[in-house]
């Protein structure tokens, strides 16, 4: 696969937050393993002067997706808490664009495309391809990749830069993303 970065590319990092890492409220197994991989991609993106986007799951304390509100998930990524903070070792530059999602009480947003006019913003910035990684492979990375494809973007999933909550769900998500035209880049491409 051609993994050369070029004009029109952006790095897109999904929900690399403490609550999705080991010890967090909704921990993804080995979730923190994506951090050093993504830090190498951040360096590459900066060297190529490419923009970097990072989404955050950013819920109000009584969000409808939480079990105590009859939702599906344990309480996680509550706005302003340590659990919602980006992983402290993720080396995001100051000019990275942070995108919050899941901020409305009554609805969940697995993808930043569901939270605002992101496709328009990306197009306006001349972006046509996203290099994607983050958490979780079977939930928010999956939805972000599918929404990006629907909006007409090329998507490359950096497989080493993502982990699923559930292994089987992760395999299904990979298959679904591939079927939607996502290029899955195996390995870390350390070059
Ligand atoms: C996520 C479950 C609930 C994710 C967010 O970021 O993958 N998963 N909220
Ligand atoms: Zn959530």
pLDDT in tens, 106-124: 999 999 999 999 999 999 9
Structure confidence at residue 137 (pLDDT):
98
- Give the distance between the most distant pair of CA atoms in the chain: 46
Catalytic residue from among 9, 15, 57, 138: 15
> How far, in Å, CA of 109 to CA of 64, rounded?
11
Q: Tell me how far apart the alpha carbons of residues 94 and 132 are, in angstroms, rounded to a whole number.
A: 19
Nearest CA to ligand 1 atom 1: 140
Give residue ranges with CB within 6 A of ligand 1: 15, 20, 26, 57, 73, 135-136, 139-140
Between 3.40.50.11030, 3.40.50.850, 3.60.70.12, 1.20.140.160, what CATH number should domain 9-185 receive?
A: 3.40.50.850
Q: Do residues 149 and 117 touch, judged by C-beta distance below 8 A?
A: no
Tens digits of residue pLDDT in 32-55: 999 999 999 999 999 999 999 999
Residues of the chain with pLDDT under 70: 1-3, 188-191
* Residue owning the nearest CA to atom 4 of ligand 1: 140
CA-to-CA dists, residue 76 to 85, 101, 121, angstroms: 11, 13, 28
Cβ neighbours of residue 142 closer than 8 Å, sequence gap 6 or more: 110, 173, 176, 177
Spot the catalytic one: 19, 32, 101, 108.
101
pLDDT score for 191: 44
pTM of the model: 0.97
pLDDT at site 187 = 74
Pocket mutation for ligand 1, best pick of 12, 25, 26, 102 (most atoms within 8 Å of C-beta): 26
């Amino acid at each position: 696969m051609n993994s050369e970065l070029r004009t029109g590319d952006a790095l897109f990092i999904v929900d690399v937050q403490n609550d999705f890492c080991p010890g967090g409220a909704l921990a993804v197994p080995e979730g923190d393993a994506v951090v050093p991989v993504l830090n190498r991609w951040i360096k590459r993106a900066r060297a190529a002067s490419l923009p970097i986007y990072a989404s955050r799951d950013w819920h109000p304390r009584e969000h409808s997706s939480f079990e105590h509100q009859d939702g599906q998930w344990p309480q996680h990524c509550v706005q302003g808490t340590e659990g919602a903070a980006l992983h402290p070792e993720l080396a995001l530059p100051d000019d990275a664009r942070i995108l919050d999602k899941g901020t409305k009480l009554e609805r969940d947003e697995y993808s930043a495309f569901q939270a605002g006019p992101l496709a328009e913003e990306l197009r306006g910035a001349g972006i046509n391809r996203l290099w994607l990684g983050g958490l979780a492979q079977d939930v928010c990375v999956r939805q972000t990749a599918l929404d990006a494809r629907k909006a007409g973007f090329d998507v490359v999933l950096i497989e080493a830069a993502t982990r699923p909550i559930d292994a089987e769900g992760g395999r299904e998500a990979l298959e679904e993303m591939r079927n939607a035209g996502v290029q899955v880049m195996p390995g870390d491409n350390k070059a």
